[in-house]
Amino acid sequence: MIVSDASLREMRLSSLDRWRALGLGTLFALMLGLILAFPGAPELPRLEVGKPSPKTILAPERVTYASALLTEEARANAEAQVKDVYDPPNAQLARQQVQEAVRLFSYLDSLRNDPYSSLEQKIEWARQVPALTLPVTMLTRTLTLDEPTFARVVSETVYVLDTTMRNPIRPSDLSAEYAQIPARISLAFSAEQAELIATWVQAFVRPNSFFNPTRTNEERARARASVSTVYRTIEQGQAIVREGEVVTPLTLEALAEMGLWRLTPRLVDYLAPALLAFLLALLLALFTLRMNPTLLAQPRVLILIAFVIVIFVAGVKVLGNRVTLVHYFYPISAAAMLLTALVNSSIAFGAMVLLAIAFGFLGHASFELTLYALAGGIVAAMSLGRIERLGTFLWSGALVAAMNAAVVAIFRALSLEKDFTVWITMLIAAVSNGALAGLLALGSLLLLGKLFGVTTSIELLDLARPTHPLLNKLLVQAPGTYHHSLIVSQLAEQAAQRIGADALLVRVAAYYHDVGKTYAPHCFVENQMDGVNIHDTLSPQESASIVIDHVPRGIALAKQYGIPERVRDFIPQHHGTSLAAYFHRKAMQMNSNPASVDEQNFRYPGPKPQSRETAIMMLADGVEATARAERPTTPEQIRSIIDRIFNERLRDGQLDESDLTFNDLRQIKEAFFGVLQGLYHPRVKYPEPLRPEET
């Protein structure tokens, strides 16, 4: 149906298609649920930390494993032994305190020498100094000292303060430092004077060494890093936990490392995976319905999509629930490559979202594994596109490897991993994953295509070989038709690229669309090299029958040579149910009663084009044949031919069952015009060569 915009294309699905799609979706959800919920190891009694074990569990074999719990305990002990790190004494702070003391004593000295103020006023003015917190008794004693004693007290105070502030003083050590001040005062002072000096020194002493969290953390991290991985060995037959013994995290770790620990299965243990499978299947179905509704009418493609997803999810299940290095080698991105090559990139994108969630779910809800699979799969789906070279798989694999390495690096950095060996190992696994994905997709593409009847790009590339037996037969027996097919392939390919259709499919199908003409090549004008037209001796009905017969003969010949069904569909659909107009008009002219001429005898059997690609082929075939016959010499004549053919096909309803839009038709016209203008451009007539006598 021709519509005004691609977003308004109607989905033509029968009730049978809908029920069939629903049944396949239900089956897919059930299979996915069984895989996700299927127990992967022998079951044990339910074990809980802090509670006694209901039975004795013995090690079935000798195992040595890296114990994360023991390693963490050893590293925590090493970290705890590192004391807090403090900065060295702040000399600038010490100078500030000494200078503050000198300024304050200078102020007190001016108060002492003020003859106009009473002692009470002097004390009041001294107490207004914010930094001065001494008791009134000490201020009174200071202000009433005689001049020589005051000078000696001030000098000793500054000296002891200077000495004290040179030592590292931490906030927690301030009281202990106060206790050391009296011992630093000269014994030449009396007890009262020494007490006064000690009080003044305490007033100015401040902490000058502070806790440094950065250096402390660095030292503790260095202490942790110095502790190597702790390995634990359990001998065969050794009791991992005895009946009645309290279960510890170390017990569960040992059981998990041996693959023995599983919770007692309950209904909820199966319900969660089943609900997840149903949700994922529903989301994929809605995505397909929105993005590719026509796939619902293609059960083989739906089965293919489900098969690829189920196989890769089953592979993840086989890896086990414990995340190991093998998970990072698992080439899950190959699923995106296969679905892109066999179906399209949008379906591959939707399937990778489902696979990534399942991957992370089966890996103990690992967000890293989810992102690892999703990022690689999206890159694979976006980079592969339509495959026209085998090297595309290798390029896609390289991009997947780069994305995998980026995800691994991000999570190693977030975990503050400092072991260089771990970095190298993980990056090697990530890069190898991309290479394995590309090789796996390339190796299984042809097999899956044959298994599900899907024509792959590799098959199309093989069919495009000029040495293909059927193409060689066409070239030898019908060279004019062969040349016609080449021109049609150029027209159709350019048009398909313009509107985003499958250009490779259209180009290859154009090579084979007229192979039926090899049965009687002389009956077709492009092969009549000697100018003799057999149709001049035949009735219009006979001529039309011969010409129309090249369609069923072409289908039979294509089947004989093993041409895929997707390419064979172009043979009947490129003519649709159109009219062999030349012979029909000739029959009406020759008949005295034109109304008695049965039009159905002059129509091709069909069906009409069912896709954009086959519709493009119909238009390209008609335009090329008309241009070959009329030999246009100007752009206006070329455009006139194109418009005429397009209008004829539209009026005849030949494009009603395709998905072409009016905008597509405009783009196709421009593509045809560009190719034909290059073929039929005006040429300069070269002069005749001079005769020998004229030279």
Locate the domains of the chain by residue range. 91-204, 265-425, 463-679
Q: What angle (nearest 5°) sits at the alpha carbon of residue 314, between those of residues 308 and 319?
A: 130
CA–CA distance from 656 to each of 62, 94, 233 (Å)?
72, 94, 74
Among 572, 581, 651, CA closest to 618:
572
Please confirm whether the linkage preceding 607 is cis (ω < 30° from 0): yes
CB proximity list for 108: less than 8 A, separation 6 or greater: 126, 142, 143
Residue 425 has pLDDT above 60, yes or no: yes
DSSP letter for 47, please: -
Give CA–CA dist 363/358, Å, rounded. Answer: 8
The region of weakest confidence among 275-289, 431-445, 635-649, 661-675 is 275-289
Tokens of 284: 């994929």
CA–CA distance from 332 to each of 98, 283, 359, 378, 434 (Å)?
71, 20, 9, 11, 9
Q: What is the pLDDT of residues 342-364, one digit of tens each?
A: 888 888 888 898 888 888 888 76
Please give the helix or strand (H or E) that residue 523 lies within, else none.
none
Please give the helix or strand (H or E) that residue 569 lies within, else none.
none
Buried b (16+ CB within 10 A) or exposed e, 352-373: bbbbbbbbbbbbeebebbbbbb
CB proximity list for 324: less than 8 A, separation 6 or greater: none
Residue 511 has pLDDT above 90, yes or no: yes
CA–CA distance from 691 to each of 286, 686, 694 (Å)?
79, 15, 5
pLDDT at 9: 40
- Measured between alpha carbons, how far apart are the two ends of the chain, in Å? 67
Query: In the predicted model, what is the mean pLDDT of residues 311-339?
Result: 85
Query: In the predicted model, what is the mean pLDDT of residues 242-251?
Result: 85
pLDDT at 242: 86
Give CA–CA dist 586/502, Å, rounded. Answer: 38
Tokens of 358: 């399942």
CB proximity list for 406: less than 8 A, separation 6 or greater: 375
Which percentage of the chain shows pLDDT scores above 70? 87
pLDDT at 691: 52
Q: Tokens 């005849």 appear where?
A: 652
Give CA–CA dist 40/58, Å, rounded. Answer: 20
Give CA–CA dist 690/355, Å, rounded. Answer: 77
pLDDT at 4: 40
CB proximity list for 695: less than 8 A, separation 6 or greater: none
Q: What angle (nearest 5°) sits at the alpha carbon of residue 691, between those of residues 685 and 692?
A: 145
SS3 content of the chain, % helix, strand, coil (to 5): 65, 5, 30
Q: What is the pLDDT of residues 36-83, one digit of tens each?
A: 655 544 445 677 788 888 888 787 778 888 888 888 888 889 888 888
Question: Of the spans 103-107, 268-272, 671-675, which averages the highest pLDDT?
Answer: 671-675
Give CA–CA dist 493/325, Å, rounded. Answer: 46
Q: What is the pLDDT of residues 147-198, one digit of tens each?
A: 888 888 888 888 888 888 888 888 888 888 888 888 888 888 888 888 888 8
Q: Tokens 């796939």 appear where?
A: 295
CA–CA distance from 25 to each of 34, 35, 74, 267, 345 (Å)?
14, 15, 52, 24, 20
Residue 243's CB: how many other CB atoms inside 10 A?
A: 11
CA–CA distance from 14 to each of 11, 125, 306, 374 (Å)?
9, 102, 21, 34
Residue 259 has pLDDT above 70, yes or no: no
Q: Quick check: helix, strand or coil at residue 328?
A: helix
Give CA–CA dist 351/184, Å, rounded. Answer: 81
CA dihedral 468, 470, 471, 473 (to 10 degrees): 120
Tokens of 370: 């989810």
Which percentage of the chain shows pLDDT scores above 90? 20
State if pTM tops 0.85.
no
Q: At what angle do helices 420-452 and 299-319 cross, to 10 degrees?
A: 150
Burial of residue 91, with CB atoms counted within 10 A of its CB: 0-12 exposed, 13-18 middle, 19 or more buried:
exposed
Give CA–CA dist 671/624, Å, rounded. Answer: 13
What CATH number is given for 463-679 in this structure?
Answer: 1.10.3210
Q: What are phi and psi of 691, to 5 degrees?
A: -75, 155
Among 316, 306, 589, CA closest to 448:
306
Residue 182: alpha-carbon gap to chain centroid: 73
Give CA–CA dist 312/348, Å, rounded. Answer: 13
**Where do the H-state alpha helices sit in 113-185?**
119-127, 136-143, 147-165, 174-180
Q: What are phi and psi of 263, to 5 degrees?
A: -70, 150
The region of weakest confidence among 253-262, 497-506, 565-574, 659-668 is 253-262
Q: Quick check: helix, strand or coil at residue 320?
A: coil
